[in-house]
Amino acid sequence: MQGEATYSIGELADTAGVTVKAVRFYTNHGILPESHRTASGHRRYGPSAVARLALVRTLRDLGLDLATVRRIVDRETTPAEAAAAHADAVAVQMRVLRLRHAVLTTAARRDSTPEELELMHRLARLSTAERDELVTDFLDHAFGAPDSPLPRVLRRSLTPELPDDPTSEQLAAWVELAELTQDDAFRALMRSLFNDHMADHPTSPPRKHAVGLVTETVRPLLAADVPPGSPQATAAVTHVATAYAASLDVPDDPSLRTRLAAYLTAANDPRRERYLTLLATVNGWSPPDHPRQELTWFLTALRRVPHA
């Protein structure tokens, strides 16, 4: 190229801000063609090599592989097409990294055993169909087949639905929730709560669920810092027990209060609260307002109030 300004490999490297080794590497891979060679065999590069090398650097910084870079600089594909394909690949990598992050952070927080770590990893990698099958099995065990309105409502309100592009927080919540659904003691707890509820109200729920009644009654007392051994607490226990007995059409007697205490204790189990919290995270819902303080206060008051 007579009369055209050219660069030596060192000059091109200095102009482009890369190393001589990088220029030689891209030349050897056919990405940066040389203009010609001198009589002594030294490579020379034309003016277009500077812009070409700058584009190569940008594409490599974005993570594109050499084959894709070569197709772009040779105009065999457009930057937009390559970017779209690479973006899809990066999205997959991000999902894998979020999954790994979820498993590792959960394992570290809980000081997991190798067996627990393996279980969490397996649960995190489940397909959508496998997740649905796992959840269905848990709900079937807890509520039976959805052949009546109440089980159908409960199943809908307790079904986790991991989005297609979950956050690390949602993945971590799913791993812990899925592990919880496999816990035999938790499954027995949920089934027991449902059986007790259906035995009390086989056709329809009461006007106000026992947990809701306690929450409504106790919350203002907690706000006023009323102790569970006070006369106000006695009145609150009587109010709730009377309403609960009336909903079951039975007398308010020691047996009824024992039954109420057992039900509220199960409802206040920290595993149930944890499930609801994890469920809200997975589904992107607002955090649940679990009445743990109200139930604990009421159960304490219930034990202190003698039944007449």
Tell me the per-residue pLDDT of 141-176, one tens digit each, with 9 for 90 and over: 888 766 665 567 778 888 999 887 778 788 888 888
Question: Tell me: the pLDDT tens digits for 62-102?
Answer: 778 888 888 888 887 777 876 776 676 677 667 667 767 77
First CA to last CA distance, the chain: 111
Residues of the chain with pLDDT > 70: what percent?
Answer: 85
pLDDT band at residue 202 under the 50/70/90 scheme: very low
pLDDT band at residue 281 under the 50/70/90 scheme: very high
Residue 201: the pLDDT is: 55
Q: Decide if 302 contacts 260 (C-beta within 8 A).
A: yes
Q: CA-CA distance, 222 to 285, in Å (whole number)?
A: 26
User: Quick one: three-class SS letters along 25-42?
Assistant: HHHHCCCCCCCEECCCCC
Which range, 112-121, 167-176, 206-215, has the best average confidence (pLDDT)?
A: 167-176
User: 106: which 2 tokens?
Assistant: 């959960």
CB atoms within 10 A of CB 307: 14
Q: Does the pLDDT value for residue 138 go beyond 80? A: yes
Largest Cα span, the chain:
114
User: 43: which 2 tokens?
Assistant: 């490579």
